[in-house]
């Protein structure tokens, strides 16, 4: 299977455009790690970790989805599925193509939500999670975007290690 190039970031000027460009670059690095692999390879563990390439794509997709709900709704409610541990596993009935299509849709939603923002300083309450402090924490839309960039970069690195363990391919060699 080959992956198609991810849709480019909308042309936005200023800080929003720069942040979306940085996120787009990390998405591209992540997508390189699944270029040319099969569904079976996407579901295969290659390290001591339970993470798989398909599971990482699924998790990052869920991450973009829930963080945009948090940012756009701004109600402090826990988005459905945010704590679902199944988000890390590629299920038997899932395909890499399907997961990549869902990721592309989530990326488009994120890009549009950021384009529609009036202000990156908009602060929203974070949902209460088992690891949250007792008081409500507020993050700006900017911090949410920075978190998505960090999360995507971190998991792109994980994916690179998994891919290299799978067949010797690395992001650097595939660029």
Mapped onto helix, strand or coil, the DSSP state of residue 125 is strand
Task: Tell the burial category of 29 from Cβ atoms under 10 Å away from its Cβ (0-12, 13-18, 19+).
Answer: buried
Residue 8 corresponds to which tokens in the numbers above? 């480019």
Q: Residue 162's closest CA among 49, 86, 61? A: 49
**What is the structure's pLDDT at 127?**
94
From first to last of the 175 residues of the chain, give the pLDDT tens digit: 333 444 444 577 899 999 999 999 999 999 999 999 999 999 999 999 999 999 999 999 999 999 999 999 999 988 888 888 888 999 999 999 999 999 999 999 999 999 999 999 999 999 988 888 999 999 999 999 999 999 999 999 999 999 999 999 988 777 7
Mapped onto helix, strand or coil, the DSSP state of residue 112 is helix
**What is the structure's pLDDT at 132?**
86
Residue whose tokens read 């992956």: 3
- Specify the pTM: 0.90
> Could you write out the three-class secondary structure of 96-135?
HHHHHHHHHHHHHHHHHHHHHCCCCCCEEECCCCCCCCCC
Q: Where does 20-169 show beta strands of DSSP type E?
A: 123-125, 138-140
Mapped onto helix, strand or coil, the DSSP state of residue 83 is coil
Residue 100 corresponds to which tokens in the numbers above? 């990549």
């Amino acid at each position: 299977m080959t992956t198609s190039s991810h849709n480019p970031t909308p042309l936005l000027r200023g800080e929003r455009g720069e942040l979306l460009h940085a996120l787009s670059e990390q998405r591209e690095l992540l997508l390189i790690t699944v270029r040319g692999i099969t569904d079976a390879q996407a579901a295969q563990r290659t390290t001591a970790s339970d993470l798989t390439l398909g599971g990482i794509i699924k998790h990052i997709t869920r991450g973009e989805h829930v963080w945009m709900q948090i940012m756009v709704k701004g109600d402090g409610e826990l988005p459905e599925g945010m704590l679902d541990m199944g988000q890390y596993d590629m299920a038997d009935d899932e395909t890499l193509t399907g997961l990549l299509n869902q990721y592309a849709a989530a990326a488009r939603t994120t890009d549009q939500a950021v384009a529609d923002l009036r202000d990156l300083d908009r602060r929203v309450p974070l949902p209460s999670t088992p690891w949250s402090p007792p008081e409500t924490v507020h993050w700006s839309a900017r911090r949410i975007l920075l978190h998505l960039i960090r999360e995507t970069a971190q998991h792109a690195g994980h994916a690179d290690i998994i891919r290299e363990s799978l067949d010797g391919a690395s992001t650097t060699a595939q660029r």
